[in-house]
Amino acid sequence: MRLGAKSKTPTFSDAFLQCARCKKTLFRREFEANLSVCPYCSHHHRLSAAQRIAITFDVDSFVELDSDLASDDPLSFPEYSEKLAGAVAKSDRLDGIVCGTATIGKLPVSIAVSDFGFMGGSMGRVAGEKITRTLERGADRGIPSIIFCASGGARMQEGLLSLMQMAKTTAAVERCRSAGTPYIAVFTDPTMAGVLASYASIADVILAEPRALIGFAGARVSKQAQVVKAPDDFQTSEFLLKHGMIDRIVPRKELRDTLESLVALLGGGK
């Protein structure tokens, strides 16, 4: 495992940092003990995949799989190889999705966690493949799948191949449905576009962290298309809850328990 070898939190100094929302100065130790949630404004800062896994699943239960699947540049898209190499170097990982198996409350689950730090968590062939394998593992082993979403959408540098990931991952959700294995999605900041419009939105149960950005269209597109003025909470967790698109908004500190209960309640297999 190379989990989070180089992951970073918003820096200020080594001992302090600044809340990305209210800009207050925070003790790093306290902040991290508080799961990277600001104690003043309760802003939920983004987590790396490694951090997420550490605070969510049973200690040392995570076994990473498919970590050797590496994104490549199938279309020879301008500047893509360089960007990809940069992301790999920065993260010491080959793709933004970390997946494998773990336990929660001692129950086995198939999991995937998206790292927004890796090219904005965008979904190319490899991200789609890892999500698909995660869901298929859930279906094949008769265990629940849990996916933490964090993505700007499809990775356009892989063109139509990226679009096809929407279909492929959806096909994997269908496998879970046929197998009768639960699939729980957690929307974290941000969950957008091609990811939202495929496997993310058709989970059996959808949880979201408070005030995450969640939407179909990028802000620019959306603004152009606006006849109706967008409400203040547009494309937030709260907006989605209000429109029935998610099941609960769960503060980070309750997320582990909620997932544990859901896994126990929805069980695995028929």
Partner 1 sequence: MSTAPKTWKEWEKPLIELEEALGKLQELANRATGTERDRLLEKIKGFEKRRDRYLDTKYHNLSAWEEVLLARAEPRPYTLDYINALFRDFIELQGDRRHGPDNAILGGPAFFNGQRVMVVGHQKGRTISERTHRNFAMSRPEGYRKAIRLFEMADRFNLPVISFIDTPAADPSVESESRGISEAIAASMLSMFELRVPTIAVVIGEGGSGGAIGIGIGNKVLMMEHAIYSVIPPEGCAAILWRAPERGAEAADALRLTSRSALELGLADEIIPEPRGGAHRDPAVAAESVGAAIQMHLDQLCKMSPDALKQHRYERFRSVDGLREASPSDLPLGK
| Least distance CB 45 / partner 1 (angstroms) | 24
Based on CB atoms, which residue is closest to Zn ion, 190 or 268?
Answer: 190
Write the CB contacts of 47 (distance below 8 Å, at least 6 apart in sequence): 35, 36, 55, 188
Alpha helices in 148-266, H assignment, sequence order: 159-179, 193-196, 219-224, 237-242, 252-266
User: Applying CB under 8 A, what is the total number of residues that bind partner 1?
Assistant: 88
Instruction: Check binding of 135 to Zn ion (CB under 5 A).
Output: no
72 binds partner 1 (CB under 8 A): yes
Minimum distance from residue 42 beta carbon to partner 1 (Å): 21
Asked whether position 43 contacts Zn ion by CB under 5 A, the answer is yes
| Helix then strand then coil, % of the chain, to nearest 5 | 40, 20, 40
Of the pair 54, 163, the CB lying nearest partner 1 is at 163
**Sites for partner 1 among residues 78-97 (CB under 8 A):** 78-79, 84-85, 88, 94
Q: In this structure, are strands 97-104 and 107-114 parallel, antiparallel, or unpaired?
A: antiparallel
Does 270 participate in binding partner 1 (rule CB under 8 A)?
yes
Q: Please state, in angstroms and rounded to a whole number, the distance separating the CA atoms of residues 220 and 103.
A: 40
Identify residues 212-231 at the interface with partner 1 (CB under 8 A): 215-218, 220-222, 225-231
**Shortest CB 124 distance to partner 1, Å:** 9
Q: Which helix (H) or strand (E) holds 129?
A: helix 125-141
Contacting partner 1 (CB under 8 A), which of 54, 171, 211, 256? 171
CA dist 19 to 14, 47, 151, 209, 260, Å? Answer: 14, 14, 21, 17, 29
- The answer to whether 12 contacts Zn ion (rule: CB under 5 A) is no
Q: List residues binding Zn ion (CB under 5 A).
A: 19, 21-22, 38, 40-41, 43
